[in-house]
Amino acid sequence: MKSFEYVIKEEVGIHARPAGLLVKEARKYASKIILHKDGQEADATKLLTVMGMGVKCGEKVKIEISGEDEEKTYVDMLRFFESNL
């Protein structure tokens, strides 16, 4: 399992558009991608669950990645967060 923490910089947080981009990206990988914030967790491939976390700008999330392609998924998801969120 690989993981990283990230502070959200997108001013609307992980709301509709950014959440949709995240879900679309997460669905490209075989590995399971889980977002954690304040004791909540969400499968990154499930739009309503991700949006339901209510992640706002400036909040820290932890992303856990596990599965057969976790190395590539880790690198790509870290790059995605830095570029989009």
Q: What is the pLDDT of residues 3-22, one digit of tens each?
A: 999 999 988 889 888 999 99
Quick check: helix, strand or coil at residue 22? helix
pLDDT score, position 59: 95
Is position 15 annotated as part of the catalytic site?
yes
Backbone phi and psi for residue 21, each to the nearest 5 degrees, phi listed first: -65, -40
Q: How far is 47 from 14, CA to CA, in rounded Å?
A: 10
80, 33 contact by CB (below 8 A): no
Using the structure block, give the residue that is written with the tokens 């977002």.
35
CATH superfamily to which 2-84 belongs = HPr-like (3.30.1340.10)
From 2, 15, 36, 56, the catalytic residue: 15
- What residue ranges do the domains of the chain occupy? 2-84
Q: What is the pLDDT of residues 20-79, one digit of tens each?
A: 999 999 999 999 999 999 999 999 999 999 999 999 999 999 999 999 999 999 999 999
